[in-house]
Amino acid sequence: MTKLRNEDLKTLTGIKQYFLDPPRSFRLYTFAIPKAEEAIRIVEQYPKLQPMLDGMKESYDAMKELEGKNEELRKTMISFGNLFSYLNR
């Protein structure tokens, strides 16, 4: 089982915080999608995180459908952020 690199853990922690408390911005979508993609790229490197990755991909697909629907997007982002609790296992 591969241990998370410190750099990856720091990046994921920052993304987690962003998703758990998303800003109220009309440009939310343009910030959320790249951050979600970055988190997915990192998590894909660690096979032990497959359950987390599956949930992230599902939430990411939902987020892609929510451009212009900021309240729904914020709720989905929070769900995405909650997936990071898997890192504490």
Question: For 21, what's the count of Cα atoms within 13 Å in the CB-facing half-sphere?
Answer: 3
Q: Which domain holds residue 36?
A: 27-88
Per-residue pLDDT of the chain (89 residues), as tens digits, is 468 899 999 999 999 999 999 988 889 999 999 999 999 999 999 999 999 999 999 999 999 999 999 999 999 999 999 999 888 76
Please check whether residue 22 lies inside any domain of the structure: no
Helix boundaries (H) for 21-69: 28-43, 50-64
67 φ, ψ to 5°? -60, 130
- For 20, the 3-state DSSP assignment is helix
Please check whether residue 54 lies inside any domain of the structure: yes
Please check whether residue 63 lies inside any domain of the structure: yes
Yes or no: say if 43 and 49 are a contact pair by the CB < 8 Å rule: yes
- Claim: this prediction has a pTM higher than 0.85: yes
Please check whether residue 61 lies inside any domain of the structure: yes
The CA distance from 21 to 77, in Å, is 9
**Total structural domains in the chain?**
1
Please check whether residue 6 lies inside any domain of the structure: no
Please check whether residue 68 lies inside any domain of the structure: yes
Please check whether residue 20 lies inside any domain of the structure: no
